[in-house]
Amino acid sequence: MTTTAPATGPRTSDDATTSTPVPPIALGAMLFGTRHDDAESFDLLDAYVEAGGVWIDTADCYAFWADDSGRGGQSEPVLGRWLAARPGMRDRVRIATKVGCEPLWPGSFPERTTGLGADLVRSVARQSLDRMGIDRIDLFWAHRDDRSTPLPEVVDGFGGLVADGVVGAWGFSNTALWRAERAAGLARARGLAEPTGLQLRYSYLQPRPMVRDHEHDHRFGWITDEVLDYAEANPAVGLWAYSPLMSGAYERADRPVPEGFDHPGTARRLAVLAAVAADLGVSRSEVVLAWLAGGTPRVSPVAGVSSLAQLGTAMAGVRLVLPPEARERLDAAW
């Protein structure tokens, strides 16, 4: 029997059996089953849980771009095999997965992908449960908006799964804020569970206004000041940030900051970030994660790591409590 996730917002790591409380941080399982084989994936998963981690984030489409088939579905079965090999582990972790970005055929992304029709959402949920060998998805994400499906149908699909006990909570990724708020209103009117999560890109550096995520075709894939204000006014809504460390750009010279971040504010923020990290004797990545996890509103990172060393950095970062003056310096650079 699996334990249930809360009806609203992310579950914190200190709700599970750990010796040291850890702010919410999800382990991104995107490349499990493609770049990482079972042995590597199991090592990362074991170390994450041992360090106090609770949330594991995946999707039905992971990782179609990294597999010769051009289709997804490799990550969830790895999690299923790991859970099967670790009796009792399901009670210690929370599983988040997504629907809505699987290519309709190899090479069709981003133009043609599965959407968010109610029947498809229910079908993919059952598929994900079967792949992972579980009876409940703790948090089910709409991977990106689907304007071809009426929003009431989207709400009925996800809300119905919550009502049936198949899903603990649901939310939106890569979706305009007004759509999420409208969905919440529709859910209330229908007596269904409201979306209580937003997963978008976010980091200490911010892109220029109107820059879009062309690589993934996610027009509304960013946490903006409006999103932060919305979350602060709606404490039941949890914010999750993917790509918080910008693929290593804070630490590695061979991983340059993307062109969309080329503006005077970036240089100013990088200088302050480096100074704060040096003063505290930690890495810049740790400072970024501490800034996210300890801010108001709190933003929970989704850490896609490729090594135990990277995982150690991520867990140390969310545990790090920034001195007030350090946070003030970081915020003032904005």
Question: Which residues, 6 or more positions from 141, have their beta carbon under 8 angstroms from its beta carbon?
Answer: 59, 96, 97, 98, 99, 170, 171, 172, 173, 197, 199
Token pair belonging to 111: 């133009």
- pTM reported for the whole predicted model: 0.92
The 10s digit of each residue's pLDDT in 160-217 is 999 999 999 999 999 999 999 999 999 999 999 999 999 999 999 999 888 776 556 6
Class of domain 13-261+288-324: alpha beta
Q: Where are the domains of the chain?
A: 13-261+288-324
62: buried, middle or exposed (CB in 10 Å: 19+, 13-18, 0-12)?
buried
Percent of the chain with pLDDT over 90: 87
- What pLDDT is recorded for position 217? 64
Percent of the chain with pLDDT over 70: 93
Strand partners, 197: 238
- What pLDDT is recorded for position 210? 81
Measured CA to CA, the distance from residue 115 to residue 105 in angstroms comes to 13
Of 308, 274, 280, 305, the C-alpha closest to 204 is 274
- What pLDDT is recorded for position 19? 44
Residue 172 CA to chain centroid, in angstroms? 10
The 10s digit of each residue's pLDDT in 100-153 is 999 999 999 999 999 999 999 999 999 999 999 999 999 999 999 999 999 999
pLDDT at 16 over 50: no
Name the band, by pLDDT with cuts 50, 70 and 90, for residue 20: low
Measured CA to CA, the distance from residue 205 to residue 202 in angstroms comes to 8
Name the band, by pLDDT with cuts 50, 70 and 90, for residue 21: confident
Three-state SS letters, 250-286: CCCCCCCCCHHHCCHHHHHHHHHHHHHHHHHCCCHHH
